[in-house]
Amino acid sequence: MSAPANATATSAQALDPLAGAAFGASPDIEGRARFAVPATPRPSISGSAAAVVSPRGELSLRVAKRAGRSVAVQQFHQGALRVLRPHYLDESGQVCYVMVNPGGAYLGADLYVVDVEVEAGASLLLTTQSATKIYRTPAFHAEQRMTIRLGEGAELELAPDQLIAYREASYRQDTRITVSPTSSFVMAEVITPGWSPDGASFKYRELRLRNEIRVEGDDGAALLALDNLLIRPPQSDVTGLGFMEGYSHLGSLVVVDPRVDQALADELRQLTAGYDAYTGLSLTRTLAGTTGLVLRSLSNSTEELNRLLGACTGLVRGRWYGRAPLNLRKY
């Protein structure tokens, strides 16, 4: 028999030093209480009650269109998270921001909170300076909570570097995205098998990446896609048939746009066939005239997945915006 949901929720929150911040039940200034997680329990993965109260890093960015160019109209950062000076990669007016974690890594019980809003008609490319590295988190997991809101006709390309989890690392990434029916959202990321001193793979404890995508409509924001990934190497063999299928790296791409259709899915399918990876993609349902496309790809190298994902986002960038494929020249 299970305990009543409420009782479990209370105890889980008591154990969870990261509970309550950012996605808690209390509404923030924008009244985003609708994102509050339902009363059903979120189990704690650790019994340790580390006393974390405030986020280790916070970043808030609001981008709007001014005189044909996208610019930050509000920017705030605190602690171990900031952005580099913005730049423009082309003549389209899209602004590019690079997120930086000066400490270089996520440690146990670290909480990072990122809030991004792209106002109507504006366009943002958000990337990172280097790979996200999760070091050992002995007592409690590290976590990133990201809230994204796109206005009418707003565009966001989210292109972080790969995620590397070290031995005995636990990490959660919780991203809540709300788009308008006319917004354009593209997100690509790569997860590596991690790093351990002896070179063995999958030595981390847990990776949990959850993306919730909602579409603003007449009666609230309806759920379009729930992209939920959970890898827990210590609990079962994650490498074989039915899980990683013998591959080491995972790439994923999410596109939400009113122009997403089966023809685009078919085109991307043909495009991905040319890469050394095991790839699948499918359309979400259609809500308020917009549709999502989710692609997952397994391979044995970050570079191959970056090439594959780059080809897919390149096709979309060229087709929809007349932009060249992304070349961030970070290295």
Partner 1 sequence: MSGTYRLALQQLCDSALPTGAFAHSLGFETYIERGLIHDETSFGTWLSAFVGQQLTYSEGLAIRFLYEGVDVGELDEHLSAQLLPRQVREASTKMGGRLLEIGAEVFPSAELEAYRALVTTGRAAGHQPLAFAVVARSLGVPVEEALAAYLFATVTSLTQNAVRAIPLGQNSGQRLLRKAHDDVAAAAEQVQRLGWDDLGAVSPGLEISQMRHEWQRARMFMS
- Closest by CA position to 272, among listed 307, 301, 247: 307
Q: How many Å is the Cα radius of gyration of the chain?
A: 19
Select 6 or 74, whichever has its Cβ closest to partner 1: 6
7 touches partner 1 (CB under 8 A): no
**DSSP secondary structure letter of residue 318:** H
**Alpha-carbon distances of 302 from 5, 152, 324, rounded to whole Å:** 40, 34, 22
Span near partner 1 by CB under 8 A; candidates 131-139, 154-162, 225-233, 316-324:
225-233
179 touches partner 1 (CB under 8 A): no
- Closest by CA position to 186, among listed 251, 126, 241: 126
Select 56 or 172, whichever has its Cβ closest to partner 1: 172
Span near partner 1 by CB under 8 A; candidates 70-78, 119-127, 131-139, 245-253:
245-253
The least CB distance from residue 21 to partner 1, in Å, is: 15
38 touches partner 1 (CB under 8 A): yes
CB–CB of 249/305 below 8 Å? yes
Select 101 or 211, whichever has its Cβ closest to partner 1: 211
Residue at 107: amino acid letter: L
271 touches partner 1 (CB under 8 A): no
39: CB partners within 8 A, 6+ apart: 5, 6, 9
**Binding letters toward partner 1, positions 76-115, x by CB under 8 A:** ----------------------------------------
Among 113, 225, 253, 326, binds partner 1 (CB under 8 A): 225
Secondary structure class of 305 (helix, strand, coil): helix
Select 8 or 182, whichever has its Cβ closest to partner 1: 8
How crowded is the C-beta side of 111, counted as CA atoms within 13 Å? 18
Q: Ramachandran region of residue 194, left (φ > 0), alpha (ψ -120 to 50) or beta?
A: left
Residue 268 phi, psi dihedral angles, 5° rounding: -65, -35
H or E stretch at 265: helix 262-272
CB–CB of 65/122 below 8 Å? yes
Span near partner 1 by CB under 8 A; candidates 28-36, 47-55, 134-142, 235-243:
235-243
272 touches partner 1 (CB under 8 A): no
The least CB distance from residue 1 to partner 1, in Å, is: 8
**Alpha-carbon distances of 121 from 46, 63, 222, rounded to whole Å:** 43, 10, 22
35 touches partner 1 (CB under 8 A): no
Among 297, 302, 306, 313, binds partner 1 (CB under 8 A): 297
208 touches partner 1 (CB under 8 A): yes
Among 30, 223, 318, 325, binds partner 1 (CB under 8 A): 223
H or E stretch at 224: strand 220-231
210 touches partner 1 (CB under 8 A): yes
Span near partner 1 by CB under 8 A; candidates 74-82, 90-98, 217-225, 305-313:
217-225
Binding site for partner 1 (CB under 8 A): 1-2, 4-5, 8, 12, 37-38, 40-43, 174, 208, 210, 212-213, 222-230, 236, 238, 240-245, 250, 252, 269, 278-285, 294, 296-298
